[in-house]
Chains A and B, each alone.
Chain A
Amino acid sequence: MAGHDHSELTKGGAHPHHVLPQGMIFLIAGGLFAGMAATIGAAFMIPEPLHSNTFFMQSLALAIAIFKACLVVYFYMGVKFGTRLVKIFAYGGFIWFFTLFIMMADYTSRPMEPVPGWETVPSSALPRNTVEDPE
């Protein structure tokens, strides 16, 4: 039963398992710690007109986080050297994560309607009503 057909999705053929060299590990580690320093630094050292710009600050923090995440996923988790199949699953999972954010469309589009929305609902939840028995 030799000659299995599972090379169809492997990229490299004979050597699909890549050994990450030590220098590379150090390099990525440097990138990760630099990213961490950048995150903290950005949160406290960005000068004022930008510092109170929530959108900018948040985007910057997330961009750095995504950069760090990419380093980890590509190199430490070996997606860069992985088979095509591993790539599909890795990318697929992270991309599919964003379908959840379709839910945000609901909340952003509620104010478009001429009916009282989420905000104006009384803030107290009613206690569970006791339904009276018909008989």
Chain B
Amino acid sequence: MSATLIDNATAEQPRNDRNYLNADHTLKSWLLTVDHKRIGILYLIAVTIFFFIGAVAAAMIRYELTSPHGILLSSEVYNKTFSAHGIYMVFQFLVVAIPAVLGNFLIPLMIGARDMAFPRLNLLSWYMFMTGGLLITLSFILGGVDAGWTFYVPLSTLSETQISLCLVGIFITGFSSIFTAVNFIATIHKMRAPGMTWYRLPLYIWSHYSTAIVILLGTPVVAITLFLVVVERGFGFGIFSPELGGDPVLFQHLFWFYSHPAVYIMILPAFGVISEIITCFSRRPIFGYRFIAYSSVAIAFLGFLVWGHHMFLSSQSVLQGLIFSIITWILAVPSAIKVFNWTTTMYKGSIHFSTPMLYALGFMGLFLIGGLTGLHLASIDTDVHLTGTYFIVAHFHYVMVGGTIMGYLGGIHFWFPKMFGRTYSEMWGRISAMIVFVGFNLTFFPQFIVGYLGMPRRYHYYYFAPEWQFYHILSTAGSTVLGIGFLLPGIYLTYAIFKGKKAGPNPWGAKGLEWEQAGSPPITENFEKPVLVLEDPYNYNPEEDSKMYEHEVESADMLGGRK
């Protein structure tokens, strides 16, 4: 019965130039679409806007810090600015960026399904995401939020800014992620094509599956916690209130019970993207497939048991602090397994330094630094010195920006021909990848130093130590470069959507269902022929495939040189 539906749909247009983009052109067809690919594009537009808002706030912070006395903002406005930066970047960009944009677009394509398991739920979650985003934006228009993205009580319960509205927005966004995760789980479990066993899944799917588990188990906890803050502000309930004998540290426990795993919600999908890119541009089968797959799952579960390392300096007991510290060190192992496996994958491969690969290599370097500095913060004794300084700011930006955003940009560049059927300018792609890498390091490496020297985070002046101005100016200069690096892809990718050269179905010569069996861009039902999976993933051969790849590159007129 399903087959007849497809035949009716295919009969209307000639087969060759039909795809999900030109299936219908009205605005209504986009806003009411249940096609996972179109929803992915809707998310792409939305997160780009939210990223822009967060980036403007970041620029204001960096500009403010170029002088030891501050230049632009009063204390209140500065508090609201860094809160806006954190809230938009974390809740509206990092948590959703890769799963909602690339995950929505690619998961059915990669497992050989025609759509997600629940397409209407998928659309609903986009609308919830937008509602949450609009409420957060409204809260900033109506006066802003000054409690930071962590909303620690009692500051957030006593503050007189628009915290309740903002928290309601975050609550709704949280449920949007939960619905996305439900969709991912049902899809990955039930929608796989014949022959697509668990060990034939691309590692990208393993990563997203782990992410979905983390979202399902973590997000409700933070949702209820933030809800309790709203109730306390609105009705005077006092569950975290010390006046009633309650414990504000309990809020931190519950908040980090989600928000530490949230770090893995952000980074695990990036791991998946990097696994795909590294193996494609090294032309080698991934090294240690099962280790990478299991390490994703291990990270997802171990990630739940380390939240206390955010609270070493709260009134948490030292005993529990020690336990959390030990588990945090253990957690470094699965992340390291991944990096080692990617490195080994490249060994004796036929490496192509195309744009996505540059982002992936940048990811590995930056994530390494971010991860290793995390170990300074994971041990209690050094953490006492470093916590609450710019060291920690630099650390999580290395992981979040250097990890997630590099992964996200790499993924966008990698699958851009699949999404829009066109290729972007490879030269500009490489230039902007280099600019991002340089700008990023210039922005955040000085922050390690100035943080080690003692610059506290969330301050908008440092008149007590004007000698730090040098590092701050370096950092601000770097952020300008970084901003250009983010702006360039926005320009040339937008240009390429409309004017880029047509890409074939597989411009990179990559393996995987989405490249080998679907068009660029894919049709609405994804695959024209029934999908049957008979071989393992990443079935690359370094010697043969490199020749084929050059041929493909010439045909697509891209400059994928070999080293």
Contact = CB atoms under 8 A, between A and B. Distances in A.
Whether A and B touch (Cβ < 8 Å) is answered with yes
Interface in A82-116: 85, 93, 96, 99-100, 102-103, 105-107, 109-110, 112-113
A121 B248 CA distance: 12
Contacts of A100: 221, 257
Given A109-B320, A128-B158, 18 more contacts: A1-B530, A96-B217, A103-B250, A105-B317, A106-B316, A106-B317, A106-B320, A107-B317, A109-B317, A109-B319, A113-B317, A113-B318, A121-B242, A121-B315, A124-B242, A124-B243, A125-B243, A127-B158
Interface string A2-13: 011110110000
Contacts of A124: 242-243
Contact of B192 (A5, A85, A103): A5
Contact of A112 (B154, B221, B250, B317): B317
Nearest to A121: B242
Contacts of B74: 133
Nearest to A127: B158
A94 to B, nearest CB: 12
Interface string B63-97: 00000010000110000000000000000000000
A110 B193 contact: no
**Which of B197, B245, B317 has most chain A Cβ within 10 Å?**
B317
A28 to B, nearest CB: 28
A103 B242 CA distance: 18
A113 B317 CA distance: 7
Query: Closest 5 CB pairs between A and B?
Result: A1-B530, A109-B317, A109-B319, A110-B317, A125-B242
A110 to B, nearest CB: 4
User: Interface residues of A: mostly helix, strand, loop or mixed?
Assistant: loop
B461 interface: yes
Contacts of A109: 317, 319-320
B194 interface: yes
A131 interface: yes
B4 to A, nearest CB: 13
B243 A9 contact: no
Contacts of B242: 121, 123-125
Contacts of A131: 75
B536 interface: no
B531 A106 contact: no
